Amino acid sequence: MKVRLWGVRGSTPTPEKRNWRYGGNTSCIEVRLDNGTIIILDCGSGLRALGKSILGEFGDRPVEAHFFLTHFHWDHIQGIPFFLPLYKKGNSFLFHSVLHQSAELRQAIEGQMTNPYFPVEMSTMGAKRHFADLGDAPTDLNGAVIRTAPLNHPQGCVGYRIEADGCVFVLATDTEPGSPVHDRSVRELARGGDLLVYDSQYTPHQLEGERKGWGHSSWREGVRIAQEQGVKRLVLFHHDPDSDDARVDSLVAAARKEFPCTTGGAEGIEFHLNTGEVNPGSSSTGIGLRSEPRYRVELPLRLTWRGPDGKSKEARGVTQDLSKSGIYFIAPDDLSLGQKLGMELVIPDEITHHGDLCIPLDAVPVRHESLESSPEEEKPRLGVGARLDLPIDTLPPGKKT
């Protein structure tokens, strides 16, 4: 079983630079069984990127997938109109929910695409769409057993437990601790899980004060559940719109002091539950997260690589931030991203007063994002995150030019 996160944000999308490492899209998780079955949990704005990925993977082949919705607040359904596979004939999708009967489920999903909210009605979509009420009993789906549990959230919410391929995945988002009935149900859901993705929108302090009753939880409750129920890995999820990357880093660090196997949910990260492997993925955000401090520094960067013809190519870039093991920089969009890059970090003579100091680096790009170009710029630009082959503190001294 593989679990990939496509949207990790709560409440509303936050496509802001301060959130680029973890991501700004709202809740969407893809589960792939070993037999190829596609299960999609929630349909937030992250669903758009998942749809594009599926189209690229399947090409002209028909796509069949199963949606399981936790509830119907906008941040969990707003990606549906932008899920391109729904517009393609020959595809087939089954929507499941506990909270509504099939007719009500259809109305809740399609309602956001009616006048005056959206210019295209869902009836224009070419794919087959089916709607089903789950009920309370476990559901058998192509070799997977799917269980649900009620969660403590305004207007209701459910958590999911998927048992398949000898593994257990649990999603418990949009839940607030403090209700004995719901606290028991989420613990039963999580028991012995290989991976628990848990709502950690607020800090413990916020839950005790201004955010009490808002229907969300904290890293501390997630850690408590993981410890009590023998969970192998905890993923903090549903990040608050006001929690930037540094803030989420601090929550992850606090959780790891009590439960070391804690990960901050980030767009693109993929968990292979059969092997325990964690793949940082290939999306433009949230990949290859660096746990050590990052320092904002803008310095010239000389880039070299070999093109498909084997010839050496060069470009100029500008660093944006630097840490012990990674670098983020701006470069032209024709930069080759599929191979190792040679770099020289240039500290100009204006700083050294002894000529340019060039520090050699070798790095492998792990993420990129397209950036808007100003009118005076000749070429589009990329923001590139790369992993350094050698940590900064082991590099040879720079050379003066």
Radius of gyration of the chain (CA): 23
Poorest-pLDDT segment among 260-264, 317-321, 334-338, 393-397: 393-397
Task: Tell me how many degrees the CA angle 52-275-266 measures, rounded to the nearest 5.
Answer: 40
Phi, psi of 208 (to 5 degrees): -80, -15
Mean pLDDT for 222-247 is: 96
The letter for the amino acid at 54 is I
Query: Which pLDDT tens digit goes with each residue over 190-212?
Result: 999 999 999 999 999 999 888 99
Query: Which pLDDT tens digit goes with each residue over 244-295?
Result: 988 998 999 999 999 999 999 999 899 999 887 777 654 433 444 555 677 8
Residues in the chain: 401
Highest mean pLDDT among 125-134, 144-153, 331-340: 144-153
Q: Please tell me the predicted confidence (pLDDT) of residue 292.
A: 63
Query: Which pLDDT tens digit goes with each residue over 63-118?
Result: 999 999 999 999 999 999 999 999 999 999 999 988 666 777 888 888 888 888 88
User: What CA–CA distances, in Å, run from 126 to 40, 44, 93, 121?
Assistant: 19, 21, 11, 11
Mean pLDDT for 322-338 is: 81
* E strand spans, 280-349: 295-296, 300-306, 312-322, 326-332, 341-347
Q: Are 281 and 268 in contact (CB under 8 A)?
A: yes
Q: Is the pLDDT confidence value at 231 over 90?
A: yes
SS3 of 153, please? coil
In this structure, is the dihedral angle defined by the CA atoms of residues 111, 92, 5 and 221, taken in order, positive or negative? Answer: positive
* E strand spans, 201-353: 233-237, 262-264, 270-272, 277-279, 295-296, 300-306, 312-322, 326-332, 341-347
Cα–Cα distance between 341 and 324 in angstroms, integer? Answer: 17
Q: Please tell me the predicted confidence (pLDDT) of residue 133.
A: 86
116: cis peptide before it, omega within 30°? yes
SS3 of 242, please? coil
Q: Which CATH class is domain 295-400?
A: mainly beta
Q: Please tell me the predicted confidence (pLDDT) of residue 286.
A: 40
Poorest-pLDDT segment among 164-178, 298-312, 360-374: 360-374
Which pairing describes strands 157-164 and 167-172: parallel, antiparallel, or unpaired? antiparallel
Q: Which CATH class is domain 2-279?
A: alpha beta
Cα–Cα distance between 162 and 144 in angstroms, integer? Answer: 7
Phi-psi region of 174 (alpha: psi -120 to 50; beta: other; left: phi over 0): left
Domain ranges of the chain: 2-279, 295-400
Cα–Cα distance between 114 and 285 in angstroms, integer? Answer: 32
Pick from 87, 83, 78: nearest CA to 117: 78
Q: Are 381 and 373 in contact (CB under 8 A)?
A: yes
Q: Please tell me the predicted confidence (pLDDT) of residue 221.
A: 98
Q: Are 264 and 219 in contact (CB under 8 A)?
A: no
pLDDT above 70 coverage of the chain, percent: 90
Give 264's DSSP letter: E
Task: Tell me how many degrees the CA angle 187-26-82 measures, rounded to the nearest 5.
Answer: 130
Give me the residues paired with residue 277 across strands: 272
